[in-house]
Structure formats: structure tokens, C-alpha cells
A and B are shown apart, each in its own frame.
Chain A
Amino acid sequence: DIQMTQSPSSLSASVGDRVTITCRASQGISNYLAWFQQKPGKAPKSLIYAASSLQSGVPSKFSGSGSGTDFTLSISSLQPEDSATYYCQQYNNYPLTFGGGTKVEIK
């Protein structure tokens, strides 16, 4: 199985900051990597697919990059509504696997 390692597990940043979350795959997954945002009590929401493609309707402040084993999600100009937990997922091979999540808090 492909292991997905996310870092950091949590972060605290100020309004207006740019934050970056990293996801590393235990083996190459090409660009079959997605990012999700989840707020408490809600279903996950798709942000990025194919490592860098922005889901329709998602603000351009969210961006993804990477290929192979190393990927990043960046959020520019952090706002209070961005407070959430973010997950990466590889969909190159079954079983599909998620990273452990990154909780983003606003200072």
C-alpha cells in the first residue's frame, strides 16, 4: 500500500499569511494526488485534483504542485474561513490512501 505522509500535522498562522502543507508518497504516484478541505461536522470538499488542477468553484488562493512523490498545497492570503483540516489523497493505486491531515488554525 502507498503511505501518504502529511506535514505539519497542525499549524497556526495569521490572517493574510501564506501557508504551505506538504504531502509525501511512499512511492511514485505521478500526478494522481488530490487535496480536500474539511470543516468540523461537514463532508470533505475537493480543492485540487491531478496535483495542480483547481476544482471548479474553488478560489484561486488555493494552489497545488508536485509530481512523483512530493506535493504541496498552498493557501495564499489566509482568511478565517480557511480554518479547517486539509487532507491529501493518492488515487494512483488501490487501496486509495489519505494523509493524516493538517489542521490549520488562525492566530
Chain B
Amino acid sequence: EVQLLESGGGLVQPGGSLRLACAASGFTFSSYVMHWVRQAPGKGLEWVSGISGSADKTYYADSVKGRFTISRDNSKNALYLQMSSLRADDTAVYYCAKGYCSGGVCRGPDWGPGTLVTVSS
């Protein structure tokens, strides 16, 4: 069974930094693209960032480019999101999501339960 569990959320001041982590289990982690998706209170889903299985390719939404850094440690089955220069509009629940396909086998993403990041003074 695929399991994803985010951690690291909390209250941070504007301009501050925070590092989110996602612990993965139940699948061959290094074989999948992984993503971060966020949802501001009362709003829709927004894709934030993605990283290839080997970590050689990273992708970002324009809204976080230059401020957020995605990374992964395949030896630990862990995904990370380093967030800096945080703004009030970064306040959201952040979800870790497993990518669609590996080795030609595809299915819809699995999601973690999310971790809340609140940016406020």
C-alpha cells in the first residue's frame, strides 16, 4: 500500500523559511516523479513543483520559482520542499503526490494527508 506522509508545516513569519518533508513507502520511490501541490484556505488546488525520479530534472510554478527548492533522497524514500522568502499568499495546505507512471505502468497519483503552512506575523 502506498503511503505518503508530510511533515514540517507550521507558523512562520513573512520572509522566513521552512522545510517540508514527505516520507514515502509502499512503492519503488526512485522510479517515480514526485510533486508538491498546495491549497490555500477555501481555494482550489495549485501545483507547486515536481522532480524526476533520479532528481536530475526539477520543475516549478512561476509563483514559487526562485524561492522554493524541491529535492529528494532516494536512499531515504524522502521528498523535500525548501521554502524561503515566504509570503502570506504561500499560506496553504501542502500535499505530497506520487507521479503518474513508471516503466510504462500508469495510475492516478496517490496523495499524502497534507501539512499546513501558515505565513503570518
Q: Known contacts A87-B44, A96-B35, A100-B44; is A43 also within 8 Å of B112 by CB?
A: yes
Total contacting residues, chain A, CB less than 8 A: 27
Are B106 and A50 in contact, with the CB atoms below 8 A?
A: yes
> Residue among A48, A94, A95, A99 with the most chain B CB within 10 A?
A95
The answer on a CB contact under 8 Å between B108 and A55 is yes
Residues 27-48 of chain A, each 1 if its beta carbon lies under 8 Å from chain B, else 0: 0000000101010001111111
By the criterion of a CB under 8 Å from any partner CB, how many residues of chain B are at the interface? 22
B108 touches A34 (CB 8 A): yes
Q: When A43-B95, A44-B95, A49-B100 are in contact, do A98 and B45 touch as well, CB less than 8 Å?
A: yes
A45 to B95, CA, bound (A): 12
B50 touches A56 (CB 8 A): no
**Minimum Cβ distance to chain B for residue A54 (Å):** 9
A93 to chain B, nearest CB (A): 10
Chain A residues with CB under 8 A of B107: 46, 49, 53, 55-56
Q: Mind listing 25 A-B residue pairs with CB under 8 Å?
A: A1-B62, A34-B109, A38-B45, A43-B95, A43-B113, A45-B111, A46-B107, A46-B110, A48-B108, A49-B100, A49-B106, A50-B106, A53-B106, A56-B107, A89-B47, A95-B47, A95-B59, A95-B62, A96-B35, A96-B47, A96-B50, A98-B45, A99-B44, A100-B44, A101-B45
* Chain A residues engaging chain B, CB cutoff 8 angstroms: 1, 34, 36, 38, 42-50, 53, 55-56, 87, 89, 91, 94-101
